Amino acid sequence: MFGTMNELWLGFAAEGVVTEAEYRAMTLPQYYKSVAEVRAPFDDVGGPVRAAGLRLEACETRAVPCPFAAAFRVHRDVERFAREYIPTLRNWSEGTFAGALDPARPEEEWRAIVARFWQGHADRVRAAPQGHGMDYVHVYMTIARTTQAR
């Protein structure tokens, strides 16, 4: 997903659709915490989480396959896959692409660029659907609160 997004945006820069500055301004602000980072507030014996009486009873990660890619493996309809998959990417990242564009661009111009970007992404999904999806890794935590905080 991120590789495809970068390749498409880089291609726009190479074609002159976006400027080099606009290419560089597009950064997906994502940070995925490690298990140690998630556990840290609970492991800090003198910290406010422990003082509030909260205890971490269990903490584990599990991979969750992309639901759109999993559904595609069953229904095998590439149009449906693209129609279902692309909007979920678009809903959390479109603002980042639009925000990377020079604010001096007319609205219809930046809307056309962003629409072309998503069309290109959908075209790639249709051309090679097995190469697309966004699996998730979730941290599952069981947290208990003691009856008496210290």
Per-residue tens of pLDDT for the chain, all 150 residues: 999 999 999 999 999 999 999 999 999 888 889 999 999 999 999 999 999 999 999 999 999 999 999 999 999 999 999 999 999 999 999 999 999 999 999 999 999 999 999 999 999 999 999 989 999 999 999 999 987 655
Task: Report how far residue 25's alpha carbon sits from residue 9's, in angstroms, rounded to the nearest whole number.
Answer: 11
Domains and CATH numbers, the chain: 2-145 (1.10.1200)
Of 90, 81, 74, 69, nearest to 133 by C-alpha is: 69
pLDDT attached to residue 30: 86
pLDDT attached to residue 29: 83
CB 14 within 8 A of CB 23: no
The model carries a pTM of: 0.80
pLDDT attached to residue 19: 98
Tokens 């507030």 correspond to: 41
Phi, psi of 60 (to 5 degrees): -150, 160
pLDDT attached to residue 150: 52
> Tokens for 135?
């699996």
- Taking the mean position of all CA atoms in its chain, how far away is CA 18? 22
> Tokens for 81?
């896959």
Tally of CB atoms within 10 A around 125: 26
Q: Which residues contact 98 (CB under 8 A, 6 or more apart)?
A: 110, 111, 114
